[in-house]
Structure 1
Amino acid sequence: MSEHDYNRESYPPAPNFNPVPEMDIVKKQSKLGIASFILGLVSIIGFIVCIVLLSIVSVDYAAELSNNGTFDPETAESMVSNPSFILPILLMFVFIGTSFVGLILGIVGACMKNTRKAFSIIGIVLNALLSLGFILLFFLGLLAQFAA
């Protein structure tokens, strides 16, 4: 045997040893993404319920105002101070805040490595739809105020 047979440079380098191949790693769903998805669903359903409640209360007061035939400031003032009118409005702001938290959780969940991102993406979409919808409704209300 010659000296060349035992020379380290004559052998090819060993391949990188990976005990678990990349394909065998099972990615789990991001817990933040799941939380974002749940917050998005709760926020949207709650927001819709608040809109329905406000519509019912407003129709009742509109019927009361139309029965008189004239505008009564006391009736309008009692409508604004009525808890059945104030509570849905406050809950809408709570659901918008919940949606904003869900949007942040969804973005963080989508940025995490080695996790599935399906729930994170769905949560981002749901929470962004509610946030953008609320902003759109807010500006439409401002435009209606100035147009009147």
Structure 2
Amino acid sequence: MVTATFPVDPSPADAQRAIAEEFAFFGDWSERYQYLIDLGRKLPEFPDALKTEEHRLHGCQSMVWIVASGDADRLDFAAASDSAIVSGLIYLALRVYGGRSAREIVNTDADYIGDIGLAKHLSPTRNNGLAALLAFIRDRAQRALA
């Protein structure tokens, strides 16, 4: 059901390091926002048939849909948003956590958010949405381990 586009990087730590390096390249937040939008365009196509209330992620101001598949050895996620910036946030989260084992997911804090200064530059509603996205991913990993 979920197209396995991730992982892009060998480990969650490598992904977070690469994200920090990429964002450090940009001089200001207008450039970083544009980069987020560009990343969001890289998300795989999300089928309209899955854009249902069942797959909607609550806690986001924007519309976000997410689907998980796999087991404790490998969890894959597909997601989409109607917001360009939120799509970029989804891409970053899936870059760190997608295609990883449930144990890796549970053991990996989202350090990249602080490392690139993201939390300080997102609106409170986008921060809440990002927290909801990360909670969904972590919850699916914990369920897979149970």
TM-score (norm 1): 0.30
Q: Which has the higher contact order (CA 8 A, sep 6+)?
A: 1
- Which of the two has higher C-alpha Rg? 1
Greater per-residue strand proportion: 2
